[in-house]
Amino acid sequence: MIKNKQVVLAKRPLGEPTDDCFRIEESEIPELADNQILIKVCWLSLDPYIRGRMNDVKSYTEPLAIDDIMTGESTGIVIKSTSTEFAVGDRVAAHMGWQSYIVANADDPRLMKVDLNNGTLSAHLGVVGMPGRTAYFGLTEVGKPQPGETLVVAAASGAVGSAVGQIAKIKGLRVVGIAGGPEKCRYVKEELKFDDCIDYKAGNLAQELKAACPDGVDIYFENVGGDVTKAVAPLLNSGARVPICGYISNYNDEDITKAVTPFHILAELDEVPEHRFFVVTEFHDRWVEATRLLGSWVGDGKLKYKESVGEGLENAADLFRGMLKGKNFGKQLVKIADED
């Protein structure tokens, strides 16, 4: 009998999530009912939004309850099916948490078939998956880019930020990234072909950013918050737009309700730019369209990506902490099983 391994929320974190916030449980996999599938998980995605779901605070979605499976998306292979919609061998993405096997109803909206013509199974958790779609819709629908404008994107070497900048280049914008450390900045400029990239760890972010944006900033794609937002805000032009994807610098605050967020920082400007928080689920009916477009750009070499891969569900919590501190380089994944 195959056993399933799951990571559940054992207690709510105060600041950085410690090991005792997570608990690994094992259970037997039940027989499938009608119209169900069994997925062998191969790849697990670790994303910043997960940290917010661990807090018992009001947000755009319900927080995790104690003993709930840790939230997150994974990709894998159907190994059993009682459904006419899915066959054994189908590749799927499932937003059903940190576990090694998933039993799902075939009509569950959290399932999405994976077309490997658009990219690898792991890429469907990154550049052609949720982060890539977040970058695409956040930039095009909320940022409303126009050729010749200047875009600044924080966390520029990460899964979302790297895609934002490259899509902006495809759209004809001048793109300046912000990243942590010379290696990440070199990658952003030399590999991803951003016009410039500022190392926020070097200690003179505001001055270097101003020099890199002589015509000001028309779009600021917000991923970080805090001091980065404070450095960008004075450079925002009249009519600027700020899509707010997240603000990871505050996610480990002991009380995030007291955080100085991008909303506070932008509200203090003489001219408050157009800005809003958005989530990719707003555009759910266009996910397949976006995935195909992103996949075509990857195939054409216009959209490059990097993956940071850890191994084993038992190491997911430690990898998650590292991702929140920026230790990952590109999309943070956990390899759960081989793709066979």
pLDDT at position 111, please? 97
pLDDT at position 248, please? 82
299 within some domain: no
* One-letter amino acid of 229: T
User: Could you tell me whether strands 217-221 and 236-244 are parallel, antiparallel, or unpaired per DSSP bridges?
Assistant: parallel
C-alpha dist (Å) from residue 313 to 101, 223, 266 = 11, 26, 39
C-alpha to C-alpha distance for 185 and 337, rounded to whole angstroms: 32
Six-digit token string for 184: 């990440």
Check: CB of residue 154 under 8 Å from CB of residue 288.
Answer: no
Task: Clarify whether residues 102 and 22 are in a common domain.
Answer: yes
For residue 113, what pLDDT band results from cuts at 50, 70 and 90?
A: very high
Report the pLDDT averaged over residues 82-96. 98
Task: Clarify whether residues 267 and 175 are in a common domain.
Answer: yes
Domain that holds residue 21: 3-126+306-335
48-75 burial: b if 16+ Cβ within 10 Å, else e: bbbbbbbbeeeeeeebbeeeebbbbbbb
Six-digit token string for 312: 């084993």
C-alpha to C-alpha distance for 226 and 121, rounded to whole angstroms: 34
Task: Clarify whether residues 59 and 156 are in a common domain.
Answer: no
Say how many domains are in the chain: 2
pLDDT at position 65, please? 96
* One-letter amino acid of 119: G
Check: CB of residue 168 under 8 Å from CB of residue 175.
Answer: yes
Instruction: List pLDDT tens digits, range 25-80.
Output: 999 999 999 999 999 999 999 999 999 899 988 777 789 999 999 999 999 999 99
Q: What CATH number does the domain containing 28 carry?
A: 3.90.180.10
Instruction: List pLDDT tens digits, range 255-295.
Output: 767 788 999 999 999 999 999 999 999 999 999 999 999 99
Question: What is the total residue count of the chain?
Answer: 340
pLDDT at position 163, please? 98
> pTM for the complete prediction?
0.93
Task: Clarify whether residues 108 and 29 are in a common domain.
Answer: yes
Task: Clarify whether residues 21 and 146 are in a common domain.
Answer: no
* Chain centroid to CA 75: 15
Task: Clarify whether residues 136 and 116 are in a common domain.
Answer: no
pLDDT at position 257, please? 75
pLDDT at position 252, please? 77
Residue-by-residue DSSP string for 145-179:
--TT-EEEEESTTSHHHHHHHHHHHHTT-EEEEEE
pLDDT at position 196, please? 98
pLDDT at position 62, please? 86
Task: Clarify whether residues 108 and 239 are in a common domain.
Answer: no
* One-letter amino acid of 231: A
298 within some domain: no
Task: Clarify whether residues 107 and 187 are in a common domain.
Answer: no
